[in-house]
Amino acid sequence: MQISKLTNQGMERPRNEDSFFAETNDDLALLVVADGMGGHQAGNVASALAVDAARDFWHKLNEDSTLPVEQTRLALKELILYANQAIITEAARNTSKKGMGTTLTAGLLRGSSLIIGHVGDSRAYLIHNEGIELLTRDHSLLEELLEKGQIKPQEAKTHPQRHILTRAVGIDNHLEVDIYEREIEPGSALLFCTDGLTNQVDDSEIKNTCLEQKDPHIIAKTLVDLANERGGHDNITVVIATGIGGQHD
């Protein structure tokens, strides 16, 4: 397995409010993206605090990598709840940071078994020869409108309320965390990304880029460059793992 991670400020934002973490050790890997909430105070601080929690989780996990699946699932949820409290506590200490928040999508891969903890509208994708699958559900007003049939998919990219989140880390003490589990086929790729990518580059383009290239560093740079070529309206972050579980024969 190879991992690449890349973040870019984009073409319009005054600073980068995205943060990321990605590490691997033998057949264990942790992939994390966090997008500080635009329009809120100190979104970059919120996403950095979330990634700090992920880094601590990774170090503890490596100290006890024999955790059974059930405990690992709970630990991943606790990671996000811990990040939630860390952000709330920091915001309470400093009024200039009041209201800051972040998305957080964290994937723990052990062998071919993937567990994802997810809050917000950053995304996790699985890419393989058969296609591309979105593994997470956006916690956004836009997603709710789409599910209710109140807007059409072609209206989504320009909808005036497309940036409104319905769930985020650091906003409420009572945070609901989505947990997803999936077995990964050998030779697949995993992509974790912020919406600075997915608002500019569609799923088919992401799939084609991942399938055409084997080097994750080239994939990451190609995707970021594409988003910037389309306007780069937001910060762009991608974390990609390729060659999971070896290649197909």
Average model confidence (pLDDT) across the chain: 91
Domains of the chain: 2-244 (3.60.40.10)
Residue 86: per-residue pLDDT? 97
The pTM score is 0.93
Q: What is the pLDDT of residues 174-194, one digit of tens each?
A: 999 999 999 999 999 999 999
- What is the tens place of the pLDDT at every residue in 5-63? 999 999 999 999 999 999 998 788 999 999 998 555 699 999 999 999 999 999 988 87
Quick one: DSSP state of residue 165?
B
pLDDT for 248:
46
Per-residue pLDDT reduced to its tens digit, 55-94: 999 998 887 766 777 788 899 999 999 999 999 999 999 8
Cα 29 from Cα 3, distance rounded (Å):
9
Q: How big is the chain, counted in residues?
A: 249
Picking from 199, 190, 192, 189, the residue whose alpha carbon sits closest to that of residue 235 is 199
State both tokens at 72.
Answer: 């690992």
Gap between the Cα atoms of 59 and 65, Å rounded:
10
Bridge partners, 39 (sequence order): none
Q: What is the mean pLDDT of residues 151-175?
A: 82
